Amino acid sequence: MSLTRLGRLSQKSSVLFLCDMQEKFRPNITFFPQIVSVASRLLQAGKILDIPVIVTEQYPKGLGPTVPELGADGIKKYSKTCFTMLIPEVEKELQSFPERRSVILCGIETQACITSTTLDLIEKGFDVHVVADACSSRSQVDRLFALSRLKQSGAFLTTSEGVILQLLQDASHPKFKQVQKLIIEPAADSGLLSFF
């Protein structure tokens, strides 16, 4: 069985996608502060492990900028109006690191931009790891059924801590202690247990 079919993550083959965590969504997205907190933890780990990061903003003129607590200052933000993150500019950036075929995806909304992005990436041959505790929607019903659909479509559903530990692969990793500080405390509860 190929590694692609297993969905194994590695530091050298992964890229982190952060989707549309913007100011105007704050009051409407269920568990918004928790989703941003978990995504921020992934971003911090990504920075430590030198994993490329792609950030999009959905119509920022109307929906505002990326929220500051995400910690994405200094990272280019790609503006879009379509529901996929895979706009031409992002595709061009992905081509600059062709060895990275696994996308770690988090953000909002699960049934819209997360779904469209996942399907587009899978169609182009990428492994997509949807971080369930770092994705949400206005409606938890939409979130639940979108996650289910994405799993049926071939995405790997995972958690932020699962992603971070897979990227490290070993406690002897030279940056383990630095990253371990991010996961000593459990991730913020983003309501996933209500699905089971």
Compute the C-alpha angle 49/60/48, nearest 5°: 5
92 is catalytic: no
20 is catalytic: yes
Catalytic residue among 113, 120, 127, 135: 113
127 is catalytic: no
48 touches 179 (CB < 8 A) = yes
N- to C-terminal Cα separation, the chain: 30
140 touches 30 (CB < 8 A) = yes
Say how far residue 162 (Cα) sits from the centre of its chain. Answer: 13
* Structure-derived torsion over alpha carbons of residues 191, 194, 195, 196, reported in degrees to the nearest 10: 130
CA distance 4 to 60: 35
- Structure-token pair, residue 170: 């070993």
Q: At what angle do helices 115-123 and 140-152 cross, to 10 degrees?
A: 10
Catalytic residue among 19, 80, 106, 135: 80
In eight-state DSSP terms, residue 73 is: T
Q: Active-site positions?
A: 20, 80, 113
